[in-house]
Chains A and B, each alone.
Chain A
C-alpha cells in the first residue's frame, strides 16, 4: 500500500517535472538571439566592446594545442613558437595588445571542440589558432566557420582543410598539405636516377596523402612504385617492414611518418638492419625532424628528406629565429615551433598592414595578401584556398659546427602549390587520397 502511494507520488512528481520542462522549452533564454548558432558574426566582432577601444585595444587569441596525451610534446612546441614570437614584440602589434588564452585539447576532437566553444563564447577571442591533429583541426575549423571566427593552422596538414572544406575564414598559416610537401619528393627522386621505389607510410589520412604525393609525381615522371607498405600509428617494431623493404629490390625507399616515436623507431630499424647502406632512402617532413634527431644521433647522418622547414638554411631570418629559440630552450627549433612562430609573424604582419583593425574575414584576407620573401620558410604567398604557396626543400642531415645535427637544404623547389602542376580542378575532381587512391 505504502509502496503504491509512494510510487503514485513519484509518478506525479515525474509528470510535473516533464510538464515544467515542456513549459520552459517554449520560451527562449533572454540572451539567445534568433541566430544563436552564430555568436559572433564575421563583420561585427570588431566592435565587441573589448576590442576597438582607445589606444588600439586588445586582440585576443585562442590558442589550442595538445599539451597532454600522446602528442603532448608537439603541442608544447607549438606554444613555445607562438610565445617566442610575441615576446619579441612585447605582446603588441600596431598598437594593439595581443592577449593569448592557451587551451589544451588533449589531441581529442571532443575536447578541442568544447575548448574552442569556450574560447569563442566565454573569452570572445578574435581568432582561434590550432589545433594540431588533423581530425581536431577539421572539427575546430568547421565550428570556427559557423561561429564566424578566423581559424589559423600552424601545423595541421590535412589536405581537405584547404581543399574540399576550404573556407575564407580558415587559413593554413604554418604548414603545407600532406600531399603538397611530398610532390617534390617524387620529382626529385626520379631526377636522381631512381626508376623503381617502394613506399612506407602510416595507415591514416596523413600517411595516405604523403605517399600519394610522392607516388603521383614519381609515376608521372616515368618511375614505378613497386609496392606500398602501410604501418599502424604507434608501431614499435619495424623489423618486418624493413625486411620487406630490403627484399623488394627497388631502387629506393620513400618513407613517411608523422614524426614522434614512429619516426625514431623506423629509422633505428632501418639503420640497425644495415639497409641504410644498401638502399637510398628519402623521407618526409617529420621523420628526421629536430624532435627526432636528438634521439637518433649520428645514425641519421646523410638521410635525405623533403620539408617546407629547413633549420640549416643559410638565411638571416632563420639564423635569427634559431638564435632566439636556442637561447631560451637550448635546442634547435622543430617544425612545430617554426609553424607557430610563422603563424604569429603572419598575424603580426596582417595587423600592421591594417592598422591593427582587421578582424574576421578582413583579417584572413589581410593574411592571405601577405607577400613576403623573408619568412622562416622562405618566400610565401597564399592561393585561393588559403594554403601557402612556397618553397619545398630537399634536405640532408648534417652536423653543425657545434656538433648538433640539423637538416641542410641541398635543393629547393620554389613556389610549390598544393596542387603541384596539376591545377586545382584536376586534383579536386578526384576523391581524397586514401588506400584506394594512392596516386600510383
Chain B
C-alpha cells in the first residue's frame, strides 16, 4: 500500500517539478528557446492524438498531419480573408470535424496494416488538395501573413497558451483512457471478436475514437499555424505524419508523457542538432534504432523497466503489474473483459 502511494507521490512530485520547469521557462531562457519549446509542445499534442489511438486500440495512423493541416488551413485561410477570430476557429472546428469524420468512416472497419494504409492514403489526399487547390491554399507557396490573436501575440503568452492547452489535452486524453469507454477501446485492442460477441459496436467505437483523436490533432494544427504564422502543404505531408509516429514510438506507445518526450527528441534533433551536425537525419535514425533495440517500450517504457529492475534488486515489494500509465489494470478492473473471463 505505502509503496503504491509512494510511487504515486513520487510521480506526482516529478510531474509537478516538470511543470514548474516548463512554466518557469520563459523567465529563464531566451525567446528563441521558448518558441522552440512551444513547437515541441505542439508537436507533442499532435503525437498525443496519434498515441491515443495507438495506445488504446493499437491503431497506428500515419495520416494525422492531414487532420492537423486541415484545421490549420481553416484558420489560415479565414485569417487571410479577414474573418474574425471566432469565425476562424469555427471554420477550423467544422473542418476538423468533417475531415475526422471522413478518416473515421473510411477506417472504422479496418485494423492493423489496413488502418495504416487507409490513414496514409487519406493524409496524401489532404496533402494533394492543399497542393492543388492553389486559389484557396496558395498551393506550394502556402499562406503567409497570418497573425496570432492579440492576446497571444507575444511569444511568451503564446507559450503559456500552448502549455495550458497541452496540459488540458493530455489530462483529457488520460481521463478518457481510464474511463469505461477507454477500457472498451482497450478491450477492442485485446480482442475484437470477443468484444463484438459481447455486443459492442466496434466500428462505432473506432469512429468515435478517431473523432476524439482528430479533435486534439485539430487543436495542434491551429496552434502550429499560429506558431509559424504560416502554412504550406508541408504541414500535411507524409514526413510530418511519419515523424509524429516516430515521436510516439520513441516516447513509448500508450504512455501519457511519451509523446512529449518523443516530440522533444525529434524537434531537438531537427531544429537544434541540425545546426551542429549536418547528418542529423542519420542521428535521428540511429536514436530510433537504439530505442527500438534496447527499449521497445520507448524512453518512458525503458525508464519504467529500469525503475522496476532497481526496485527488484533492492528487494522491495514487486511493483504493480506492468505499470502502465494509461490504465492500471488490477486497481479498477470493471471492464467487460473481466466479466467475460
The residues of A with any CB-CB pair to B shorter than 8 Å are 2-3, 5-6, 9-10, 13-14, 16-18, 20-22, 24-25, 28-32, 36-37, 39, 67-68, 103-104, 106, 108-111, 113-115, 117-118, 121-122, 134-135, 138-139, 141-143, 146, 158, 160, 165, 203-206, 208, 431-432, 434-436
Contact = CB atoms under 8 A, between A and B. Distances in A.
Interface string B27-47: 100111001100100000000
Given A9-B12, A135-B232, A29 B271 contact: no
B204 interface: no
B145 interface: yes
A106 B239 CA distance: 12
Interface stretch (B97-105, B160-168, B247-255, B299-307): B160-168
A210 to B, nearest CB: 13
B228 A109 contact: yes
Contact of B271 (A115, A135, A205, A435): A115
A20 B23 contact: yes
A436 B270 CA distance: 37
Contact of B154 (A24, A28, A113, A432): A28
Contacts of B1: 2
13 contacts: A13-B15, A17-B16, A18-B167, A24-B27, A31-B30, A36-B154, A36-B155, A104-B278, A118-B275, A134-B141, A135-B142, A138-B141, A206-B140
- Secondary structure at chain B's binding surface: helix, strand, loop or mixed? helix
Interface residues of B, number: 59
A115 B26 CA distance: 19
B314 interface: no
B5 A110 contact: no
B19 interface: yes
B138 to A, nearest CB: 8
B24 A9 contact: no
Interface string B121-151: 0000000000110110001111011000000
A115 B140 CA distance: 20
Contacts of A435: 134
A31 B31 contact: yes
B30 A122 contact: yes
Contacts of A14: 171
Nearest to B143: A138
Nearest to B280: A68
B5 A6 contact: yes
Contact of B19 (A17, A110, A121, A432): A17
Interface in B2-60: 4-5, 8-9, 12, 15-16, 19-20, 23-24, 26-27, 30-32, 35-36, 39
Given A21-B167, A109-B228, A165-B145, A10 B139 contact: no
B167 A9 contact: no
A36 B142 contact: no
Given A13-B15, A110-B234, A436-B134, 20 more contacts: A6-B8, A9-B8, A16-B16, A17-B19, A21-B163, A28-B157, A29-B27, A30-B27, A32-B154, A36-B155, A37-B153, A37-B154, A39-B31, A109-B142, A113-B230, A121-B31, A146-B229, A205-B134, A205-B139, A434-B139
Contacts of B234: 108-110, 135
A114 B32 CA distance: 8
Contacts of A160: 141
Nearest to A207: B140
A17 B15 contact: yes
A157 to B, nearest CB: 11
- Nearest 10 CB-CB pairings of A with B: A6-B8, A121-B32, A204-B140, A3-B331, A13-B12, A25-B160, A36-B154, A142-B144, A139-B230, A135-B232
Contact of B232 (A17, A109, A111, A143): A109
B160 A21 contact: yes
Contact of B4 (A2, A142, A146): A2
Interface string B73-95: 00000000000000000000000
Contacts of A111: 270-271, 274
A17 B31 contact: no
A21 to B, nearest CB: 5
A13 B16 contact: yes
Given A20-B23, A117-B32, A122-B30, A6 B144 contact: no
A139 B23 contact: no
B156 interface: yes
B328 interface: yes
Contacts of B164: 18, 21-22, 25
Contacts of A436: 134-135
B156 A10 contact: no
Given A16-B16, A121-B31, A204 B24 contact: no
B273 to A, nearest CB: 11
Nearest to A5: B5
